[in-house]
Amino acid sequence: MAKKTDVVKKANRQPVTAEMGLFDKVAKLIEEARSHVSKAINVAEVYTKYRIGQYIVEDEQKGKYRAQYGKQVLLDLSNRLTERYGDGWSYPNLRKIRQFYLTYSNLIISDYQIQNDNQRLSNQDSENIRIQEPHFVLSWTHYLVLMQVKNPDARSFYEIECSQQQWSVRQLSRQVGSSLYERLALSRNKKAVMRLAKEGQTIEKPSDIIKNPVTLEFLGLKPDSTYSETKLESAIISKMQQFLLELGKGFLFEARQKRFTFDEDNYYVDLVFYNRLLQCYVLIDLKTDKLTHQDLGQMQMYVNYYDRNVKKDFEKPTIGILLCERKNDALVKLTLPKEANIYASEYELYLPDKNILQAKVKEWINEFDDEEKKQNSSAPQTNSKSKKSVVKAKTMRSKK
């Protein structure tokens, strides 16, 4: 006969479904609470440092800011704060805090002036500006990265995307370093470029997922070395998490070397993805050489096959992307029909030169401005004299 204590021990070892369900719920709640507390602490730190930066700047302004005076004030403040609160309040850190306030307070003043049609600010307006604060949602370390972005539009884009996509500091640094904003801007028209700064990357149509160039520096392949398409594909597979980050929002990986058979011949698509935001398949073919019209024709066949044999009725048309070392835009336009859902993007194995990309974006926007001016100047204009004569004639008829 088993002892009572043995029975109790066996009962304790057996998991009870109800209790495990309760444990999972409680554990999840605790983890969520810890996450919220951690995030709240991070955001509170950012707001605190913003206000500290404000106090520093206001103190400098009262002292009729001189470089030597400001440096001595920060050195004294650093010593006293470090003595009371420990590390984290060094002179360089206080300078960053000061710069943080100057960077983000300028956004409030600019917005306030625009809303008031650039009218002269009254004392009350100045007080309202002083009370207002930007809306911070990221950690202090994130903002240290964002402060390195000089272009306010680009900085706003990265802040929105970082919040929405929950990028780590490392991921944010990578996206800034790879000039994601400039690469997306070069694939859009002027209105869409302006939208990037206000809303981040919006995925509404196939062209929204395209960027030029696609940066693959994380693969570790040397640009001057010889490598095959198979080696490039294997490198991407081994770094799939980074590749998905580079592709952007909504991408899910499905298969590599996806085979389909047509007329007893086998064909292979290098990489197959699904974009949940666009609700469509995205086929990617890799080309380590110059893009040819045969490559475009092959991708057109792949896309047609997926649209006719794989795509469900509720899904959108398949997108084809050719990642190539070199492309000729004129050849792409000549080969493909206008409604083709196929795109060619160059890839680079190193981080692009930010200055060159920024210059290209500026040139791109200037071209749009010039085109708009031409369209406006060529639009038919009504002669003011003919307008007056029509009004006069109507008046005479009414008098009669």
Whether 268 and 169 share a structural domain: no
Question: Residue 284: inside a domain, yes or no?
Answer: yes
Question: Residue 101: inside a domain, yes or no?
Answer: yes
Distance of CA 197 to the CA centre of its chain: 9
Whether 253 and 305 share a structural domain: yes
Whether 301 and 226 share a structural domain: yes
Q: Which residue has the tokens 């990489």?
A: 271
319 by Cβ neighbours in 10 Å (0-12 / 13-18 / 19+) ranks as: buried
Predicted local confidence at residue 119, as pLDDT = 44
Report d(CA 288, CA 280) in Å as an integer. Answer: 26
Amino acid sitting at position 243: F
Report d(CA 395, CA 16) in Å as an integer. Answer: 93
Predicted local confidence at residue 267, as pLDDT = 93
Whether 100 and 40 share a structural domain: yes
Question: Residue 382: inside a domain, yes or no?
Answer: no
How many domains is the chain built from?
Answer: 3
Whether 177 and 220 share a structural domain: no
The number of beta carbons lying within 10 Å of the beta carbon of residue 251 is 20
The number of beta carbons lying within 10 Å of the beta carbon of residue 229 is 14
Whether 112 and 177 share a structural domain: no
Question: Residue 389: inside a domain, yes or no?
Answer: no
Contact 351, 327 (CB under 8 A): no
Whether 339 and 274 share a structural domain: yes
Question: Residue 393: inside a domain, yes or no?
Answer: no
Strand positions, DSSP E, 80-220: 214-215
Task: Give the CB-side neighbour count of residue 301, counting CA atoms within 13 A.
Answer: 14
Q: In this structure, what token pair is assigned to residue 372?
A: 């708009």
Report d(CA 178, CA 217) in Å as an integer. Answer: 9
Note down the domain range covering 191.
148-202
Per DSSP, the three-state class of 249 is coil
pTM of the model: 0.72
- Beta pairing class for 319-326 and 280-290: parallel
Q: Domain boundary at 170, 185, 202, which? A: 202
Nearest-5° angle of CA 156, CA 157, CA 160?
85
User: Which CATH number goes with the domain that contains 246?
Assistant: 3.40.1350.10
Question: Residue 374: inside a domain, yes or no?
Answer: no
Question: Residue 391: inside a domain, yes or no?
Answer: no
Whether 307 and 236 share a structural domain: yes
Whether 190 and 218 share a structural domain: no
Q: Domain boundary at 87, 107, 136, which? A: 136
Whether 247 and 333 share a structural domain: yes
Distance of CA 211 to the CA centre of its chain: 11
Enumerate residues 6+ apart whose C-beta is below 8 A from 185. 193, 196, 361, 364
Whether 194 and 281 share a structural domain: no
Predicted local confidence at residue 378, as pLDDT = 64
**From first to last of its 400 residues, what are the pLDDT tens digits of the chain?**
545 555 444 444 444 455 567 888 888 888 888 877 877 888 899 999 999 999 988 887 775 555 566 788 889 999 999 999 999 899 999 999 999 999 998 765 444 343 444 444 444 444 444 446 788 999 999 999 999 999 999 999 999 999 999 999 999 999 999 999 988 888 777 778 888 888 888 888 898 888 888 999 999 888 777 888 999 999 999 999 999 999 999 999 999 999 999 888 999 999 999 999 999 999 999 999 889 999 999 999 999 999 999 999 999 999 999 999 888 888 888 888 888 899 999 898 888 777 878 787 777 677 666 666 666 666 555 554 444 454 455 444 444 4
Q: Domain boundary at 178, 202, 226, which? A: 202
Predicted local confidence at residue 398, as pLDDT = 46
Question: Residue 378: inside a domain, yes or no?
Answer: no
Report d(CA 74, CA 56) in Å as an integer. Answer: 8
Whether 345 and 212 share a structural domain: yes
Nearest-5° angle of CA 207, CA 157, CA 32?
105
Report d(CA 157, CA 343) in Å as an integer. Answer: 24
